């Protein structure tokens, strides 16, 4: 069930997830589905531009946000997803006292990446990322932009030097993808690897198809 506000304290694993206005909304949706299926509590915040992309790329009704999330993610009353408004800077995930394993932003726009790199925390998404940095928790960013200019690259280098894991949305082909879903699964699988979440989304190098 989609809800907002405080969260249960009895979950063994919880991650903060951000969706932004970069192309590739499907990556964020697939990641959340995988995390929920693995029994991991997801605390989700979506930027206004992110909702625009969800509408344009996936046909989600951005005017009915909670309903769109429930339908798009296949949520029910037992689903461990908590949704927070983008402007709710006083939400639980804006505080370092909120315990979680870390945060991932997927897809991550260059604007959001720049804000995080420069400590700008004027909305819940960038504030949550700032919290991850100050608390020394894992922070993963999945940028989706091409081509990249020097400012993009400098911002990514700055964050990488701070320990942020940069996981560009770059599908591979050694595993023999046959569909668009296969390509998406590879990128999401690499993100899950960085989060230390087991998965079987793609065939790893050296594995046979029977190993999947």
Binding residue per annotation — 136?
A: no
Is residue 190 marked as binding?
Answer: yes
Residue 110 marked ligand-binding: yes
The residue among 148, 144, 145, 108 whose CA lies nearest residue 128 is: 108
By CB atoms closer than 10 A (0-12, 13-18, 19+), residue 135 is: middle
Q: Is 165 marked as binding a ligand?
A: no
Is 112 annotated as a binding-site member? yes
Give whole-number Cα distances, 211 to 112, 167, 180, in Å. 38, 25, 21
176 in a labelled binding site: no
CA–CA separation, 93 and 71 (whole Å): 24
114 is in an annotated binding site: no
Find out whether 90 is annotated in a ligand binding site: no
Does the annotation place 174 within a ligand binding site? yes
Q: Residue 27, annotated ligand binder?
A: no
Q: Residue 37: which residues within 8 A CB-CB, separation 6 or more?
A: none
4 is in an annotated binding site: no
Q: Which two tokens stand for residue 143?
A: 């940028």
With left for phi above 0 and alpha for psi between -120 and 50, is residue 206 left, alpha or beta?
left
* CA nearest neighbour of 141 among 90, 186, 195, 99: 195
Host H or E run for residue 140: strand 139-143
Q: Which residue positions form the known binding site for dimethylallyl phosphate?
A: 174, 190
Annotated binding site for FMN: 21-23, 47, 109-112, 144
Q: Which residues participate in the annotated binding site?
A: 21-23, 47, 109-112, 144, 174, 190
């Amino acid at each position: 069930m989609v809800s907002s506000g405080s969260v249960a304290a009895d979950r063994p694993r919880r991650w903060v997830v951000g969706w932004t206005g970069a192309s590739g909304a499907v990556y964020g949706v697939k990641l959340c589905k995988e995390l929920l299926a693995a029994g991991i509590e997801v605390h989700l915040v979506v930027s206004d531009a992110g909702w625009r992309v969800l509408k344009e790329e996936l046909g989600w009704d951005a005017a009915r946000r909670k309903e769109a999330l429930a339908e798009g993610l296949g949520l029910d009353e037992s689903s461990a997803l908590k949704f927070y408004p983008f402007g709710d800077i006083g939400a639980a995930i804006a505080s370092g006292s909120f315990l979680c394993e870390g945060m991932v932003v997927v897809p991550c726009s260059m604007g959001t990446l720049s804000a995080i790199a420069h400590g700008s925390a004027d909305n819940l998404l960038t504030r949550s990322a700032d919290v991850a940095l100050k608390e020394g928790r894992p922070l993963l960013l999945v940028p989706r932009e091409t081509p990249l200019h020097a400012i993009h690259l400098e911002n990514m280098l700055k964050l990488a030097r701070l320990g942020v894991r940069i996981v560009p949305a770059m599908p591979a082909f050694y595993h023999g993808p046959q569909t668009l879903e296969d390509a998406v699964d590879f990128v999401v699988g690499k993100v899950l690897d960085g989060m230390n979440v087991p998965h079987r989304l793609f065939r790893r190098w050296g594995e046979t198809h029977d190993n999947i």
